[in-house]
Structure 1
Amino acid sequence: MWLMRPPGVYRAQEDTDLLISRVVQEPLRPGDEVLDVGTGTGAVALAAAGTGARVTAIDVSWRALATAWLNGALHRRRIRVRHGDLLAPVRGRKFALVVSNPPYVPAAAAEPPARGPARAWDAGPDGRALLDRICREGPGVLDRGGVLLLVQSSLCGVEATCLALERSGLDVRVTAQRVQPFGPIMSARAGWFEERGLIAVGEREEELVVVRGVRPR
């Protein structure tokens, strides 16, 4: 589906496609509540809305939220947009499905950027600044039997994500995997990744994975 994307809004890429491929496999029913955390252009939110689910999309970027809402209107798929930091705008609510394609690229800066385009991908030295927060907070907004879907790179610790979600009480497994060459941002940092031991010398591929956690009924 064609999506409007103004400058400064993260372009839906292979990780988005991989996450959508799992979202459409979930047995969503019309009226089920779905939450998209870090919606960007709204690509994942729109895929969920296509099932008849009631979708709420969160982003810290006002421009991203406007883009997601407009893309929903263009494709006649209604999504509710909320501005805020991760799950803060939906405290007290419960969802059948929570999905996220968060920033996960390791970066030299100790903290993720507060503004600018890199805010959509930089996530601290281990790439887990946002992942760890979602693993801690995400299970708390799931209905019984609810599902959390996260997409990330192998460079930022797939096992760490699985263990964190298990500690939060979810039943966890990896449901999708895809190996792909580094894009421009990862390629530019490859030497630093080697120095940090995140990749082998000369390695220029990453594995994208979707982690699925289920809250027991």
Structure 2
Amino acid sequence: MPGLLGTYHRSGRVMVLRGVYAPQEDTLLLGEALGRERVGAGTSVLDVGTGSGFIALAAARRGARVTAVDRTRRAVLATRLNAALAGLRVEAVRGDLLTPAGGRRFDLILSNPPYVPAPDAAPPRRGSARAWDAGNDGRLVIDRLCAGAAGLLRPGGVLLLVHSALCGVPATLERLERAGLSAQVTDRRSVPFGPVLASRRQWLLGCGLIASGDDKEELVIIRAERIE
């Protein structure tokens, strides 16, 4: 199939359509956090911003009922293709963030959203950058997730969210607590700047988001639970 790439990782193989976010360090970190959660037959899982479906498939392999959402047609197609190739059942739907899941409740919500601070205040309307650019502070999508996730979780349900420390971990914790969730950072990992952050070094310096000489980004997993 034209425009198809193969991506390999310890936990298996996924096919990535051109323009779809390929599994990277943040994906793998989220996958490790998922591995610590109680997931099995009957667990209802929502993967928001699924990309290639890598995380959705990881949950489906453990028997979960998985709904995977992405706003691009190519990502939805990639997820459906990968699920079919793996012999797994994943409901992959196209839509804006949490909107397709409205009216439903889940035991676990997973998200690796766009979170990279960008010189443009508005999110890109097309192209690969839709998978990572999220406004000047990197919070255009994260803030919406913080506001809406609690309403989609069952009592005892959990949100696992990965993002960069560049876009403000305390702000995320505060917003999740305000939404009625008990939130904490469970994982931190330092990774070298990728091509996007490296290309924005001077802009990030000017914004005070990094210091001179910084060449690594800290990724975090935030776990938020609905107690009531």
Partner Cα separation in structure 1 for residue 110 and residue 34 of structure 2? 8
Match of 1:165 among 172, 176, 197: 176
The yes-or-no answer on 1:212 pairing with 2:223 is yes
Partner Cα separation in structure 2 for residue 6 and residue 67 of structure 1? 6
Which AA in structure 2 matches 1:170? L
- Output one character per residue of 1:59-80: Cα deviation in whole Å (capped at 9) or x when no partner: 0001100101110111111100
Q: Which residue of 1 aligns with 2:193?
A: 182
What SS does the corresponding residue of 2:224 show, helix, strand or coil? strand
Gaps of 5+ in 1: none
Match of 2:214 among 194, 203, 216: 203
Q: Which residue of 2 aligns with 1:92?
A: 103
Q: TM-score by structure 1 length? A: 0.99
Match of 1:156 among 156, 162, 167: 167
Which AA in structure 2 matches 1:88? T
Partner Cα separation in structure 2 for residue 181 and residue 83 of structure 1? 32
Match of 1:131 among 111, 118, 142: 142
More strand, by proportion: 2
- Deviation of 1:90 after TM superposition, in Å, equals 1.0
Gaps of 5+ in 2: 1-11
- Output one character per residue of 1:24-58: Cα deviation in whole Å (capped at 9) or x when no partner: 11012311110000000000100111110100000
Aligned residue-pair number: 217
Partner Cα separation in structure 2 for residue 177 and residue 47 of structure 1? 21
Which AA in structure 2 matches 1:211? I
- Output one character per residue of 1:156-179: Cα deviation in whole Å (capped at 9) or x when no partner: 001111111000011111111100
Match of 1:3 among 10, 14, 18: 14
* Coordinate RMSD, CA, aligned: 0.7
Q: Which residue of 2 aligns with 1:193?
A: 204
Partner Cα separation in structure 1 for residue 192 and residue 170 of structure 2? 21
What SS does the corresponding residue of 2:149 show, helix, strand or coil? helix
Partner Cα separation in structure 1 for residue 122 and residue 189 of structure 2? 28
Partner Cα separation in structure 1 for residue 20 and residue 53 of structure 2? 10
Q: Which residue of 2 aligns with 1:47?
A: 58
Partner Cα separation in structure 1 for residue 175 and residue 129 of structure 2? 25
Q: Matched residues, percent identical?
A: 53
Partner Cα separation in structure 2 for residue 80 and residue 106 of structure 1? 31
Partner Cα separation in structure 1 for residue 196 and residue 146 of structure 2? 25
Q: TM-score by structure 2 length? A: 0.94
Which AA in structure 1 matches 2:92? V
Partner Cα separation in structure 2 for residue 49 and residue 189 of structure 1? 37
| Moved beyond 6 Å, runs of 4+ | none
What SS does the corresponding residue of 2:141 show, helix, strand or coil? helix
Q: Which residue of 1 aligns with 2:126?
A: 115
- Output one character per residue of 1:75-125: Cα deviation in whole Å (capped at 9) or x when no partner: 111100111000111110000000000000000111111111110100000
Which AA in structure 2 matches 1:105? V
